[in-house]
Structure 1
């Protein structure tokens, strides 16, 4: 993938916000099926994969039907695909409530049950359920493409960062509730989650982890003011000693109120090689976990490509 910064789009939150609100809601519909599957540490079973056209669910198996749901951001539609057929649903101009009804009808035609829950999750101010969200949504191709480009470029960098980690690491993918792209490294050291907060958050905090990702809104849980679109990172549990560290890339800063290290997209795309900058950012965060929280440095192996490994014995 090109490392040229001019291949990385300018991201304007005001322009993207209506599409982000729309897509964040509709991806939760098919995302709910993942909750029927065995829980993986850190919710690794739920993430959506960035594809050449958009975002897709894992392969689901329900009532004898094997299927995927592909949110094709570049085409403005959603494809439900099974071994026996497929249905395509447009996203052009509709409400979330109407789309949900059409989705359930199309799924039923393919022998797929409706999701077990229609609650809208993790979106402040949203109606309680898909059936209640009747605001008209209009698909817009230009912001949809920028959304996909950002996810695709960020995923490429995060996958490169994640590759040499020897511990448990769910695949890089979109957390459909919070709508952030996540790359997370775990170690088998139990923690005590906070007594407050929703169960899904406390279940994500059962073990220590380092998370690096991309978000269109880095407000997260620590502050009321939205921070810049871009890369974020944090260490759970949060250790002391993060205030004066370097984060590998010019423009990356620690935000104590949010409990996040933020690398704004605007700063990222100014670097000579944004792809490599994501890797350097993630490495700096992991180095901080080693230095401040006792994470083992030897859990990260060499970063080489498959051709190298095909010709060299492991060290």
Structure 2
């Protein structure tokens, strides 16, 4: 682990440019997964997954073969692998999104994979087409490695938290649109139509959910944090008190937030994150009147 502590420092200001570039690269790979997989409920077919070395797609069917793609944040390479044995490798290094995109499409062509990718990024305020993006061109391997470490430790806590729920629950997955690691619990009830929802939101929030996750500060927030929200937001949720100290309601975001720096400052970050998950979920489930006796392992 190169001497980096288990819950390493991850100040947004130190790696914002790298994170923004990596965000676009993960969107390029994620859109490949979107193109090659059939729709699953709540878009569960499109995320990436934390691997032993970085982030990956898992196996995707392609004609009579399978393809998987993995960001390796230990040696800083992108691996494209076919089940038949053919491989392509790209170096992860400071380079523009446009340059990355061009080489990536070339690697797919060398593997005999033909995929149509929408070149416009998703969920961005001011998207720049991948093939025209020379603005994002940073890559700091140390901070990318730290980011992956945080994801691995966060996933471990999320997985332990998942075991206490008997209802429908999502995989723990990395959404490349919003650039966050998330896990979602469902009440089993359909949700009312979401005002102004687009196609993505209609599918994602078709049922009542309480979702938790970790994101590094993208989208203008500017700080790494754990979060928990309910959709739809039940009346009175903003007034709920949660644990531990340092965690609470963020009025601007409309959800509970526990900043990563506060987590790191505690004696046991794992216990603190688990307490945050249990407390914020419990507050949301109670206010929303979920049937907790039926949904939870007692």
Report what 1:46 is aligned to: 46
Verify the 8 A CA contact 1:212 1:232 in the aligned structure 2: yes
CA–CA separation in structure 2 for the residues paired with 1:187 and 1:75: 41
Tell me, yes or no, if structure 1 residue 140 matches structure 2 residue 136: no
| Residues 169 and 57 of structure 1, relative CA distance in 2, 3 Å threshold | same
Tell me how many residue pairs correspond in the alignment: 292
User: What residue is the counterpart of 1:66 in the other structure?
Assistant: 66
Residue matched to 1:112:
113
Preserved contact between residue 158 and residue 183 of structure 1 (Cα < 8 Å):
yes
| Equivalent of 1:245 in 226, 240, 244 | 240
Gaps of 5+ in 1: 1-5, 220-224, 303-315
Flag as ranges the 4+ runs of structure 1 deviating above 6 A.
none
Q: CA RMSD in A?
A: 1.9
After superposition, the C-alpha distances for 1:241-299 in whole angstroms (9 at most, x for unaligned) are 22332322110010122111000111111222211222221111221133100112131
Secondary structure of the 1:281 match is: helix
The match for 1:307 is: none
The question of 1:231 aligning with 2:231 is answered no
In the alignment, structure 1 residue 281 sits paired with structure 2 residue 281: no
Conserved 8 A contact 1:47-1:58: no
Match of 1:29 in 2: 28
SS in 1 for 2:68: strand
Deviation at 1:136, TM superposition (A): 5.9
- Give the Cα–Cα distance (whole angstroms) in 2 for the partners of residues 24 and 170 of structure 1: 22
Q: Show CA shifts across 1:29-52 (max 9, x none).
A: 121133242322322222211112
- Equivalent of 1:297 in 251, 275, 292: 292
Looking at structure 2, the residues matched to 102 and 228 of structure 1 have their Cα atoms a distance apart, in angstroms, of 32
Question: 1:62-119 deviations in whole A, cap 9, x for unaligned?
Answer: 2222011001123221000112211101122322112111111111221211243222
- The match for 2:206 is 206
In the aligned structure 1, how far is the partner of 2:190 from the partner of 2:53? 38
Aligned to 1:312: none
CA offset at residue 174 of structure 1? 0.7
1: CA distance, partners of 2:284 / 2:162? 15
By how many angstroms is 1:227 displaced? 5.8
Residue segments in structure 2 that go unaligned for 5+ positions in a row? none
Name 2:182's counterpart in structure 1.
182
